[in-house]
Chain A
């Protein structure tokens, strides 16, 4: 096809004719802005921003396009012009599509109950480009999104309509993902400095970490005087006895104190984050993380409950889930 430039020129001229024509007209959001979709979005993104919950919640601004999506429903708003343009590209072998750019400006927050309407225009169609995926054309649309008739944001979106460069590989040439040699477990690939610091395990505290591996949080108990102790040590500070056994923590506790770490950043921890000093129901204290609670919502006295979390293929840590009331 590279040997037929004039053919492309003529084709490109036909494509260019669509610039400036509407792509979607009087589109209506399938649902008003609503809490369930916001919550599903936040769950998927792992976004715990408290601005997106509660009575004064706003929708995540980056959801802007989501409110315009048709899902599996028909798209009555799509114009004939846009359908024709995409049809031309499909027929010329550029049937595959991938989104490449997204530019969004947010003029005002969207809140549950906002009714969404939108209009879209074909801003530009590129000349033919050679890409890693294959040759194709970039199509850029701009959408104005309104809430209750008021402009709330604009959304410029670029897709590549392309002819796939490679035939799909023969399945038997593909690496078997079940073969451990071929498995790309991201946790296996973490550089050492990107992983959490390892627990410091020696003969005096190995029993604690063996308990963690079994999802048990074990407290030492002096068999001489019965005093519970944490951290683990070979002898009792109350009576000096070297004899001890263990009791399993119930898992209930409260935040005795906490620190919110802001600076300096460490590769494996994303500040700000809270580190708690947890007082277990049994009376001993342990440093740990308070999870499930935004860093700025951790408070002294907050009830917490033990859980075990895996951080990489080697590391499981006892952490504490905040119990909000």
Chain B
């Protein structure tokens, strides 16, 4: 594995179910993550995914790729275009740095309206 290597993309259909299930599993009962009307009143066309779910999906993307022995050390993400129901997010990753068994991956999750998430993940991959 080398800097510049690309991870295979992971496509995640953004269903209403995923958004609500993610919000509840992360104990986030903010109405914008499950109730369309309050979401609209706050300027959003529909409910949208909460950051904890995005964080979980980014973590899953990395450990799916590097396998069950990989240990997440740091996940830093920034949200952009929201994930609304009916969209699809495609996560892609590029190895930014390999330092011994620590690998830093730049992750981008793009949806139909732009970049939902950009971030970096540091993961320890036992040799």
Direct contact between the two chains A and B in their complex (CB within 8 A): yes
A140 to chain B, nearest CB (A): 12
Q: B77 at interface (Cβ–Cβ under 8 A)?
A: yes
User: In the complex, what's the smallest C-beta–C-beta distance from A121 to chain B, in angstroms?
Assistant: 18
| Contact among B7, B9, B56, B86 for A183, CB-based, below 8 A | B86
Q: Are B55 and A102 in contact (CB-based, < 8 A)?
A: yes
What are 24 A-B contacts with C-beta separation under 8 Å? A41-B25, A43-B21, A43-B25, A44-B25, A44-B53, A51-B69, A61-B71, A62-B52, A63-B56, A70-B27, A71-B29, A98-B32, A101-B78, A102-B75, A102-B76, A104-B74, A106-B71, A134-B43, A164-B41, A168-B41, A265-B9, A270-B65, A271-B8, A296-B67
Give the total number of A-B pairs whose CB atoms are below 8 A apart. 156
- Per the CB 8 Å criterion, the residue count for chain A at the interface is 63
Q: How far is the CA of A76 from the CA of B77 in the complex (A)?
A: 28
Tell me how far the C-beta of B101 lies from the nearest C-beta in chain A, rounded to whole angstroms: 15
Judge whether B59 and A60 touch: CB under 8 Å: yes
Across-interface contacts of B24 in A (CB, < 8 A): 40, 44
Which residues of B are in contact with A by a Cβ distance under 8 Å?
A: 6-14, 18, 21-22, 24-30, 32, 40-43, 45, 50-53, 55-60, 63-65, 67-69, 71-79, 86-88, 112
**A40 pairs with B60, CB closer than 8 A:** no
Residues of A with Cβ closer than 8 Å to B? 30, 37, 40-41, 43-51, 60-63, 65-66, 69-72, 96-106, 109, 133-134, 164-169, 174, 177, 183-187, 189-190, 194, 265-272, 294, 296
- Beta-carbon nearest neighbor of A96 in chain B: B42
Closest to B26 in A: A66
Q: Which residues of B contact A164 (CB under 8 A)?
A: 41-43
* A72-B24 Cα distance, complex, nearest whole Å: 11
**Which B residues lie within 8 Å of A103 (CB)?**
74-77
